[in-house]
């Protein structure tokens, strides 16, 4: 079951259409929209419609929904790039998480380097 929704959750508001975003793909359980500060030619955020804080909480509460998020990321990469992608879930402030509604960064559209830290 989804976690209780913080009343101020930015990504819940984007899912609800209360905050504008450039949505690129949706399905019954997830929404994909462009990151406001893209770090690559393709930089899309994929979020579950239900509120979960981070990837571990999502995986524990609703593993099928995590699968739906990954499937939508794959679809976005096929539609927006060459089908290849990096999927990043920052978990916790020290890892760079700044929005506490789980989101996968779908990154690609160029040859990526690898400097994770």
Residues at the interface with ligand 5GP (CB under 6 A): 10, 21, 33-37, 45, 90, 96-99
Judged by DSSP in three states, 67 sits in: helix
Catalytic residue among 51, 52, 101, 103: 103
- Taking phi over 0 as left and psi of -120 to 50 as alpha, with beta for the rest, 83 belongs to left
Which contacts (CB < 8 Å, 24+ apart) does range 81-85 have? 81/41, 81/42, 81/108, 81/109, 82/108, 82/109, 84/108, 85/42
**Residue 35 binds which of Zn ion, ligand 5GP, none (CB < 5-8 A, kind-dependent):** ligand 5GP
**Residue 98 binds which of Zn ion, ligand 5GP, none (CB < 5-8 A, kind-dependent):** ligand 5GP
Q: How far is CA 62 from CA 33, 53, 91, in A?
A: 22, 12, 17
In the window 71-90, what residues touch Zn ion (CB under 5 A)? none
Residue 1 or 93: the one with the smaller Cβ distance to ligand 5GP is 93
**Residue 101 binds which of Zn ion, ligand 5GP, none (CB < 5-8 A, kind-dependent):** Zn ion
Identify whether 103 is a catalytic site residue.
Answer: yes
Contact status: 99 vs Zn ion (CB under 5 A)? no
Residue 11 or 89: the one with the smaller Cβ distance to Zn ion is 11
- With CA atoms as reference, report the closest residue to 53 among 83, 98, 107: 98
Residues annotated as catalytic are 103
């Amino acid at each position: 079951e989804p976690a209780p929704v913080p009343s101020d959750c930015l990504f819940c508001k984007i899912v609800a259409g209360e905050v504008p975003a450039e949505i690129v793909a949706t399905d019954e359980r997830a929404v994909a929209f462009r990151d406001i500060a893209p770090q690559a030619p393709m930089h899309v955020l994929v979020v579950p419609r239900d509120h979960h804080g981070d990837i571990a909480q999502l995986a524990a509460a609703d593993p099928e929904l995590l699968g739906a998020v990954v499937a939508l990321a794959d679809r976005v990469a096929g539609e927006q790039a060459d089908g290849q992608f990096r999927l990043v879930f920052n978990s916790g402030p020290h890892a760079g998480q700044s929005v506490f509604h789980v989101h996968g960064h779908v990154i690609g559209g160029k040859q990526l380097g690898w400097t994770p830290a």
